[in-house]
Each structure stands twice: as C-alpha cells, then as structure tokens.
C-alpha cells in the first residue's frame, strides 16, 4: 500500500512538470518560427536582388569568358601588371589578338597607359593565335611618371573589351 501511495505522488508531481515543459517547448518553438520566418524573409528578398543584377565578375565571365586574377603594381611602380584567366577561348579571343592595342586608363586623371613594345622582346603581353581555356595570360602597361598608383581605379580597353572600375593592388 505504501508503494501505491508513492507512485500516485510521483504521477501527480510529474503531470504539472510535463505541462510546464510542454508550455516551455511551445514558447521556444513559437520564437524559433518567428525568428526563422523573419530571417528567411530577409534572405529571400536579398536572393531576388542578387539574381536580377549579376555581379561585374559574373558579367565578365559570361560576356568575355575571362576572370581577372590580378591587377597590381610591378617593377617598382613603373609597370602595371594585368593578369586574367581564360575560361572560354572563343569569347576571350579579342584579348589575345595582336591587332588590338591594349590601353589602361586611370579614371581619376584620364591618363592612358600602353603596353610597351621593346626591340628584343616585342610587346610586353602574351598574344597567341588562339588562347587556351584554363591558362592565365598577362599584359604589362608602362607607367612612366608613376601616375597610376596602388589604389587607383582604372579601365582596361582592348578592342571592344572594356573592363571598368578595377582597383590596382
């Protein structure tokens, strides 16, 4: 008989505890739904904005089949080194075509830098009859007068190819 009384007491005590745990669980789940719903709504709207307007890098890949790997000062500031990776050789063909003279324009001053053509080496750029996908190519622009500096915003033009708002490292 004593055992039955003990069991009844435990059952009575556990019922309110279960009710409290159930209420607490409901409150926590409700909070998660509210917070998760608000966070999800923010993410969904930012995804829509991102898909409607592709990034400049994505547009460069899609239109010209290249990816900029670096744009930095070299030769103690006397050269600007531009490197790009070819992703689609057909789209990127203009960048390797010798008929088009590359030009780097400093956006602040309008100064135009050209690829130097040395007597022994020729133009300081890689050009090929056909560019190869997966390879990285370079162009060196002469920076006489050290007008372009690290942090300068520049535009690179090669024929119809135009790459704007690039920051020199």
∠ at Cα 74 (141, 56), nearest 5°? 65
pTM of the entire structure? 0.68
Residue 22 pLDDT: 53
Residue 81 pLDDT: 99
CB 77 within 8 A of CB 144: no
Buried b (16+ CB within 10 A) or exposed e, 115-125: bbeeeeeebbb
Residue 68 pLDDT: 98
* 52 Ramachandran zone, left/alpha/beta (phi>0; psi -120 to 50): alpha
Reduce the DSSP state of residue 7 to 3 states and report it: helix
DSSP string, 31-75: HHHHHHHHHHHHHHHHHHHHHHS--HHHHHHHHHSEEEEEEEEEG
One digit per residue, the tens of pLDDT, for the chain of length 169 reads: 455 444 444 445 545 555 555 555 454 444 444 444 444 444 444 455 555 678 889 999 999 999 999 999 999 999 999 999 999 999 999 999 999 999 999 999 999 999 999 999 989 998 877 999 999 999 999 999 999 999 999 999 999 999 999 999 9
pLDDT digits 0-9 by tens, 41-89? 444 444 555 556 788 899 999 999 999 999 999 999 999 999 999 999 9
Report domain 56-167's class: mainly beta
Residue 31 pLDDT: 44
Bridge partners of 106?
A: 154
Domain regions of the chain by residue span:
1-53, 56-167
């Amino acid at each position: 008989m004593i055992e039955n009384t003990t069991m009844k007491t435990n059952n009575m005590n556990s019922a309110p505890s279960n009710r409290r745990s159930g209420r607490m669980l409901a409150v926590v789940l409700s909070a998660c739904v509210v917070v998760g719903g608000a966070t999800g709504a923010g993410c969904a709207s930012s995804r829509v904005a991102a898909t409607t307007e592709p990034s400049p890098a994505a547009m460069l890949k899609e239109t010209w089949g290249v990816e900029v790997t670096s744009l930095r000062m070299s030769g103690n500031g006397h050269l600007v080194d531009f490197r790009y990776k070819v992703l689609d050789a057909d789209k990127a063909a203009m960048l390797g075509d010798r008929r088009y003279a590359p030009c780097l324009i400093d956006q602040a001053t309008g100064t135009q830098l050209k690829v130097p053509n040395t007597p022994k080496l020729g133009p300081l750029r890689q050009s090929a009859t056909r560019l190869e996908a997966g390879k990285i190519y370079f162009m060196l622009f002469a920076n006489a007068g050290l007008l372009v500096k690290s942090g300068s915003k520049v535009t690179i033009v090669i024929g119809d190819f135009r790459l704007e708002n690039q920051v020199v490292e």
